Structure 1
Amino acid sequence: MAESNLYIDLDESEWAIHGFGKTIRKIIGSSLTTQDFKSLQKLGVFYTYQLINLEDSEMITWKQMKVLRNMSSKDRKAKWFQSLENILLVDPLKRDLQEEW
Protein backbone atom coordinates (compact mmCIF):
# COMPACT_ATOMS: atom_id res chain seq x y z
CA MET A 1 0.00 0.00 0.00
CA ALA A 2 1.41 3.38 -0.99
CA GLU A 3 1.87 6.02 1.66
CA SER A 4 0.41 9.42 0.91
CA ASN A 5 1.68 12.66 2.33
CA LEU A 6 -1.78 13.93 3.11
CA TYR A 7 -2.00 16.25 6.09
CA ILE A 8 -5.22 17.67 7.48
CA ASP A 9 -4.91 20.65 9.78
CA LEU A 10 -7.94 21.09 12.03
CA ASP A 11 -8.23 24.50 13.58
CA GLU A 12 -9.80 23.94 17.00
CA SER A 13 -11.38 27.40 16.97
CA GLU A 14 -13.58 26.29 14.07
CA TRP A 15 -14.95 23.44 16.17
CA ALA A 16 -15.44 25.44 19.37
CA ILE A 17 -18.89 26.18 20.72
CA HIS A 18 -19.13 29.93 21.11
CA GLY A 19 -21.07 31.54 23.91
CA PHE A 20 -20.54 33.21 27.23
CA GLY A 21 -21.05 32.53 30.88
CA LYS A 22 -20.93 29.24 32.69
CA THR A 23 -21.42 26.04 30.78
CA ILE A 24 -24.01 23.54 31.90
CA ARG A 25 -21.27 20.93 32.01
CA LYS A 26 -19.26 23.04 34.46
CA ILE A 27 -22.25 23.60 36.74
CA ILE A 28 -23.60 20.06 36.84
CA GLY A 29 -20.22 18.38 36.57
CA SER A 30 -19.55 14.67 36.62
CA SER A 31 -23.18 13.67 37.06
CA LEU A 32 -23.85 14.35 33.35
CA THR A 33 -24.32 11.12 31.43
CA THR A 34 -23.75 10.32 27.77
CA GLN A 35 -27.51 10.53 27.30
CA ASP A 36 -27.48 14.02 28.88
CA PHE A 37 -24.77 15.15 26.46
CA LYS A 38 -26.80 13.86 23.52
CA SER A 39 -29.89 15.67 24.79
CA LEU A 40 -27.98 18.94 25.25
CA GLN A 41 -26.44 18.61 21.81
CA LYS A 42 -29.80 17.90 20.16
CA LEU A 43 -31.29 20.95 21.86
CA GLY A 44 -28.26 23.12 21.11
CA VAL A 45 -27.99 24.13 24.75
CA PHE A 46 -24.52 24.50 26.23
CA TYR A 47 -24.57 27.64 28.41
CA THR A 48 -26.82 28.67 31.28
CA TYR A 49 -27.57 32.02 29.63
CA GLN A 50 -29.52 30.06 27.02
CA LEU A 51 -32.01 29.08 29.73
CA ILE A 52 -32.38 32.45 31.45
CA ASN A 53 -34.76 35.26 30.51
CA LEU A 54 -33.50 38.58 29.11
CA GLU A 55 -33.72 40.28 32.51
CA ASP A 56 -31.43 37.62 34.02
CA SER A 57 -33.99 37.04 36.75
CA GLU A 58 -35.76 33.78 35.86
CA MET A 59 -34.97 30.42 34.32
CA ILE A 60 -37.29 29.34 31.51
CA THR A 61 -39.31 26.17 31.92
CA TRP A 62 -38.65 22.86 30.16
CA LYS A 63 -41.79 23.37 28.10
CA GLN A 64 -40.74 26.89 27.06
CA MET A 65 -37.33 25.65 25.97
CA LYS A 66 -38.83 22.87 23.87
CA VAL A 67 -41.35 25.23 22.25
CA LEU A 68 -38.57 27.74 21.45
CA ARG A 69 -36.76 24.96 19.60
CA ASN A 70 -39.89 23.84 17.74
CA MET A 71 -39.90 20.49 19.50
CA SER A 72 -42.67 18.58 21.19
CA SER A 73 -42.98 19.52 24.84
CA LYS A 74 -44.94 16.40 25.78
CA ASP A 75 -41.94 14.40 26.95
CA ARG A 76 -40.86 14.51 30.56
CA LYS A 77 -38.27 16.93 31.83
CA ALA A 78 -34.67 15.81 31.35
CA LYS A 79 -32.65 14.93 34.46
CA TRP A 80 -29.94 17.47 33.56
CA PHE A 81 -32.62 20.19 33.42
CA GLN A 82 -33.94 19.16 36.84
CA SER A 83 -30.41 19.26 38.22
CA LEU A 84 -29.96 22.79 36.89
CA GLU A 85 -33.24 23.87 38.44
CA ASN A 86 -32.10 22.52 41.80
CA ILE A 87 -28.85 24.46 41.55
CA LEU A 88 -30.01 27.74 39.98
CA LEU A 89 -33.48 28.38 41.34
CA VAL A 90 -34.62 29.77 44.67
CA ASP A 91 -38.13 28.43 44.10
CA PRO A 92 -38.99 26.10 41.19
CA LEU A 93 -42.56 27.40 41.06
CA LYS A 94 -41.62 31.07 40.78
CA ARG A 95 -38.56 30.32 38.57
CA ASP A 96 -36.52 33.06 40.32
CA LEU A 97 -32.76 32.63 40.11
CA GLN A 98 -30.52 32.60 43.14
CA GLU A 99 -28.51 35.84 43.45
CA GLU A 100 -25.22 34.26 42.43
CA TRP A 101 -26.55 33.38 38.98
Structure 2
Amino acid sequence: MEVMRVPQNHRVALATFYLVRNARHWWESVQRRYQDLSAITWQLFRAAFDSQYYPLAYQNLKMEEFVQLEQGAMTVLEYEKKFNELSKYCILLVEDRIRNASCLP
Protein backbone atom coordinates (compact mmCIF):
# COMPACT_ATOMS: atom_id res chain seq x y z
CA MET A 1 0.00 0.00 0.00
CA GLU A 2 2.88 2.36 0.73
CA VAL A 3 4.67 1.60 -2.54
CA MET A 4 1.50 2.28 -4.52
CA ARG A 5 0.80 5.34 -2.32
CA VAL A 6 -2.75 4.18 -1.72
CA PRO A 7 -4.53 6.74 0.49
CA GLN A 8 -5.66 5.44 3.89
CA ASN A 9 -9.32 5.85 2.97
CA HIS A 10 -8.96 3.53 -0.08
CA ARG A 11 -6.84 0.75 1.40
CA VAL A 12 -9.68 -1.37 2.79
CA ALA A 13 -11.54 -1.30 -0.53
CA LEU A 14 -8.41 -2.24 -2.47
CA ALA A 15 -7.33 -5.02 -0.12
CA THR A 16 -10.79 -6.57 0.14
CA PHE A 17 -11.24 -6.47 -3.63
CA TYR A 18 -8.63 -9.26 -3.84
CA LEU A 19 -10.19 -11.53 -1.21
CA VAL A 20 -11.58 -14.79 -2.61
CA ARG A 21 -13.43 -17.88 -1.34
CA ASN A 22 -13.18 -18.28 2.44
CA ALA A 23 -11.46 -14.93 2.88
CA ARG A 24 -14.30 -13.25 0.96
CA HIS A 25 -16.90 -14.99 3.19
CA TRP A 26 -14.97 -13.95 6.29
CA TRP A 27 -14.90 -10.34 5.10
CA GLU A 28 -18.64 -10.33 4.38
CA SER A 29 -19.28 -11.56 7.93
CA VAL A 30 -17.09 -8.76 9.31
CA GLN A 31 -18.96 -6.15 7.27
CA ARG A 32 -22.32 -7.34 8.62
CA ARG A 33 -21.22 -6.19 12.08
CA TYR A 34 -21.14 -2.55 10.97
CA GLN A 35 -24.03 -0.31 10.03
CA ASP A 36 -21.63 2.27 8.63
CA LEU A 37 -18.96 0.54 6.52
CA SER A 38 -16.91 3.73 6.39
CA ALA A 39 -16.18 3.10 10.08
CA ILE A 40 -13.93 0.21 9.04
CA THR A 41 -10.52 1.87 8.93
CA TRP A 42 -7.34 0.35 7.53
CA GLN A 43 -6.07 -0.22 11.08
CA LEU A 44 -9.31 -1.96 12.04
CA PHE A 45 -9.21 -4.11 8.91
CA ARG A 46 -5.56 -5.10 9.51
CA ALA A 47 -6.26 -5.99 13.14
CA ALA A 48 -9.28 -8.12 12.15
CA PHE A 49 -7.41 -9.76 9.27
CA ASP A 50 -4.35 -10.54 11.37
CA SER A 51 -6.53 -11.90 14.16
CA GLN A 52 -8.33 -14.18 11.70
CA TYR A 53 -5.39 -15.40 9.66
CA TYR A 54 -2.47 -14.94 12.06
CA PRO A 55 -3.80 -15.86 15.52
CA LEU A 56 -1.86 -14.57 18.51
CA ALA A 57 -0.63 -18.06 19.39
CA TYR A 58 0.85 -18.43 15.89
CA GLN A 59 2.42 -14.96 16.07
CA ASN A 60 3.95 -15.79 19.46
CA LEU A 61 5.34 -19.05 18.09
CA LYS A 62 6.94 -17.22 15.16
CA MET A 63 8.26 -14.50 17.48
CA GLU A 64 9.91 -17.14 19.65
CA GLU A 65 11.36 -18.77 16.53
CA PHE A 66 12.78 -15.36 15.55
CA VAL A 67 14.29 -14.76 18.99
CA GLN A 68 15.93 -18.22 18.96
CA LEU A 69 17.17 -17.90 15.36
CA GLU A 70 20.84 -18.72 14.87
CA GLN A 71 22.77 -19.10 11.66
CA GLY A 72 24.15 -22.52 12.59
CA ALA A 73 24.72 -24.56 9.40
CA MET A 74 22.73 -22.14 7.21
CA THR A 75 24.50 -20.05 4.63
CA VAL A 76 24.35 -16.29 5.08
CA LEU A 77 21.70 -16.09 2.35
CA GLU A 78 19.59 -18.82 3.99
CA TYR A 79 19.90 -17.09 7.36
CA GLU A 80 18.97 -13.73 5.85
CA LYS A 81 15.92 -15.27 4.17
CA LYS A 82 14.75 -16.87 7.43
CA PHE A 83 15.45 -13.67 9.37
CA ASN A 84 13.37 -11.61 6.94
CA GLU A 85 10.60 -14.22 6.88
CA LEU A 86 10.27 -14.23 10.67
CA SER A 87 10.92 -10.53 11.23
CA LYS A 88 7.37 -9.57 10.21
CA TYR A 89 6.15 -11.18 13.43
CA CYS A 90 8.38 -9.03 15.62
CA ILE A 91 8.58 -5.62 14.05
CA LEU A 92 9.46 -3.90 17.34
CA LEU A 93 12.31 -6.32 18.04
CA VAL A 94 13.71 -5.86 14.54
CA GLU A 95 13.51 -2.07 14.80
CA ASP A 96 15.30 -2.28 18.15
CA ARG A 97 18.05 -4.49 16.68
CA ILE A 98 18.50 -2.13 13.73
CA ARG A 99 18.55 0.91 16.00
CA ASN A 100 21.15 -0.71 18.28
CA ALA A 101 23.25 -1.91 15.35
CA SER A 102 23.29 1.58 13.84
CA CYS A 103 24.82 2.87 17.09
CA LEU A 104 27.84 0.60 16.74
CA PRO A 105 31.10 2.17 15.53
TM-score (ref. length: structure 2): 0.24
Higher strand proportion (structure 1 or 2): 1
Larger RCO (alpha carbons 8 Å, 6+ apart): 1
Higher helix proportion (structure 1 or 2): 2
